[in-house]
Amino acid sequence: MKILSGNEVSKVRRQKISEEVQQLKSKKGVHPGLAVVLVGEDPASQVYVRNKGKACEQVGIQSYEYKMSADTSANDLKLLIEKLNNDDRVHGILVQLPLPKHLNSDEVLSWINPRKDPDALTVENMGLCWKGIARVTPCTPSGVMKILEHYKISVEGKYAVVIGRSNIVGKPMAHLLQEANATVTICHSRTNNLQEYTQRADIVVVAAGKPLMLGREDFKSGAVVVDVGIHRIEVNGQSKLCGDVRFDELDGWVNAATPVPGGVGPMTITMLLENTLKLASL
C-alpha cells in the first residue's frame, strides 16, 4: 500500500510558495499578510492557530493574530473584521471555527471581504467555485486534490465517493472531483447501506467526523482512501490521534491511503498559505 504523505507534498509546495512570496515582494513590493482571529479558548483551535502562525513564518507570509475572549460580542467582532478588511497589509482573513455558541458562523463569515477570504467560505467565493471560475478553492478539498496530483493518481473517469456533506469539506470536495472528471456520489449520516457505495468506489474521501468508522471491509481491493478526519482518542490509557478510517487494516488491501496524522492535515494549512499568496497577487 502506498502511503500518501501530506507532509511530503506540503514540503514541496511550501518551498514553491516561499519562492513566489519573495518574488511578489521584490517585483511588486507586496508582502502577503494573513490575519487569524481566534475567539475563545478552544484548545484544538489554539493549536491550529499556532501551527498556522509557524507555517506563515516558514514561507515568509506576514502573520497577524487577534485573540478575543469567549464572551466577545458580535458587534466587537464585526468591528475587528471591518478594520482588517480595510487594512492594506492584510490579504487574507481567517476566523477560526468553531465560534462560541452566541455567535453565528454564517453571519460572521459574511462580514469578510470575499477578496480576503482564503478559506473560500464566503457566499461569493462558494458561488464562483461552483460556477467553475474560482478565485480560491476551499483549503482541505484543494489539499486532497494536490495529494492525488502529486502521487499521479488519476481521477478522470473514476468512481469517487465522498462521505460527508459539509460546506467546508464534503460539498466542495465532491465538486472538485467532478471538475476533474470523476463520477461522484455524496454519502452522509442518513445514507442507507453505506458499504454498497464505498465497496464500489475507486476513490473514497472520508469526512464523516466519526473516529475509526470504516475499515478494510468497507473498501474494494485496490481502492484509494483519503481520510480527512482527525480525532484524539484514548488507547490503553494513552492519548492518540486517529482518523475516520482504521488505517492499520488497509495495508495489503487498498492501493493507497492517507495516514492520520501526516496526511490531509498539513495540506489544509499549505493550501491556506497558497490561497493567501493568490489573494495577495490579485
> For residue 159, which amino acid is it?
Y
Q: Distance of CA 89 to CAs 19, 64, 192, 202, 221, Å?
A: 19, 10, 49, 44, 50
Residue 46 has pLDDT above 90, yes or no: no
What share of the chain has pLDDT > 70, as a percent?
100
What amino acid positions are annotated as catalytic residues? 52, 96, 119
pLDDT digits over 105-148, tens only?
999 999 999 999 999 999 999 999 999 999 999 999 999 999 99
Residue 27: its pLDDT value, please?
Answer: 94
The DSSP bridge pattern shows strands 238-242 and 231-235 to be antiparallel
Domains delineated in the chain? 31-115 (3.40.50.10860), 139-264 (3.40.50.720)
Residue 45 has pLDDT above 90, yes or no: no
Name the E strands within the chain: 2-3, 33-39, 62-68, 92-95, 159-163, 183-187, 203-206, 224-227, 231-235, 238-242, 256-257
pLDDT digits over 199-221, tens only?
999 999 999 999 999 999 999 99
18's enclosing H/E stretch is helix 6-28
Q: Which of 97, 145, 144, 101 is nearest to 121 (CA)?
A: 97
Residue 274: its pLDDT value, please?
Answer: 98
Residue 136: its pLDDT value, please?
Answer: 97
Residue 41 has pLDDT above 90, yes or no: no
Residue 116: its pLDDT value, please?
Answer: 98
Q: Distance of CA 73 to CAs 39, 70, 248, Å?
A: 10, 9, 45
pLDDT digits over 227-268, tens only?
999 998 888 888 899 999 999 999 999 999 999 999 999 999
Residue 42: its pLDDT value, please?
Answer: 84
Structure confidence at residue 155 as a pLDDT band (50, 70, 90): very high
Q: Supply the mean pLDDT for the chain.
A: 96
Residue 48: its pLDDT value, please?
Answer: 85
Average pLDDT over residues 72-87: 98
Average pLDDT over residues 89-117: 96
